[in-house]
Structure 1
Amino acid sequence: MKNVVKADIEDLNKVVNIDSEVIGNTSRRNYIEKSIELGNCIIAKEDNDIVGFLIYDTNFFECTFISLIIVSPSNRRKGYASLLMEYMMSSSPTTKVFSSTNRSNISMQRVFDMNGFFQSGIVENLDEGDPEIIYFKSKC
């Protein structure tokens, strides 16, 4: 059964393992740990297995900003990213929710589109030659 819950510190190693599977290292371990401690990390589960996670904060002009949505490669295209986004929209501490992805990340752009987010701007010069597209959705 699929469900989404807030992560707790006991989930840290599993979440870091999923992140490492995607990016190839554990460099974001401290960031993930702090997000869990702050209550800003939610996890998608299939039965008792963690298959993905979402991290957010409210430091983007006092709006919610989804900084990471990661689903394990073996569980992609099964609706987990959408499940995490739906949960975030229903529990967001602010009415405005933003996120972003690189122009080259077509699959994430499709996830945003399918979940009712729309493009709200572009930031150049973060990744050379691959602008960041900002997405927005309102809870209202």
Structure 2
Amino acid sequence: MDTANPDDDNPGAQHPDGLWVGRAGPADWAALADIDSVAVAGDAARRDSVRRWCAEETVLVARDASGPLGYAVLEYGFFEQGFVSMLMVAPGARRRGVGARLLAAVEAACAAEKLFTSTNASNHPMQLLLRRSGWLPAGLLHGLDEGDPELFYRSTRLRPRAGAGPGA
């Protein structure tokens, strides 16, 4: 994991509270699956997804001295824009700023002009995190999870980079 540059806009930067966010590599998947409440509950598909995301190096992980506390997956398959397809914080690390730090790191790392994410209408903690982090509602989709619509959000803090884009 990249931790060399202490610049606040660098996803590998360490914060004064001892929490730092950096890129996860292929070898990190098992530790991340171990903090993922869905994977821990026995969801083999989630474990496979965590392994794939780490192999593709699309994961930013938040760590402190105790180990990983959460992770976010940044992909570019959503209309060639940035998309946070997963944000997971270990149950014991929730409500400590880990999710907000991961969102900020994803915003700093995103190479696209726009950045989106989504969550179920029933996921009130995620909706609150997104609102507190300055994300705006961007749409609603019915039919993914029956009876629980998907709410889409857009980051307002993304700074477009000249000449930057997916694969640049």
Tell me how far apart the structure 2 counterparts of residues 127 and 38 of structure 1 sit (CA, whole Å).
Answer: 26
Runs (4+) of structure 1 exceeding 3 A deviation are none
State the identity %: 29
Q: Of Structure 1 and Structure 2, which has the larger fraction of its residues in helix? A: 1
User: Gaps spanning 5+ residues in structure 2: where?
Assistant: 1-17, 160-168
Considering only aligned residues, what root-mean-square deviation do their CA atoms show, in Å? Answer: 1.3
Of 35, 41, 57, the residue aligned with 1:18 is: 35
Higher Rg:
2
TM-score, normalization by structure 2? 0.78
Aligned residue in 2 for 1:79: 97
User: Gaps spanning 5+ residues in structure 1: where?
Assistant: none
8 Å contact kept, 1:22–1:73: no
Tell me how far apart the structure 2 counterparts of residues 74 and 48 of structure 1 sit (CA, whole Å).
Answer: 12
Tell me how far apart the structure 2 counterparts of residues 12 and 58 of structure 1 sit (CA, whole Å).
Answer: 20
Distance apart, 1:48 and its partner CA: 4.6
Aligned residue in 1 for 2:166: none
Name the SS of the counterpart of 2:35 in structure 1: helix
TM-score, normalization by structure 1? 0.93
Aligned residue in 2 for 1:135: 153
Tell me how far apart the structure 1 counterparts of residues 23 and 97 of structure 2 sit (CA, whole Å).
Answer: 18
8 Å contact kept, 1:12–1:33: yes
8 Å contact kept, 1:44–1:52: yes
Q: Of Structure 1 and Structure 2, which has the larger fraction of its residues in strand? A: 1
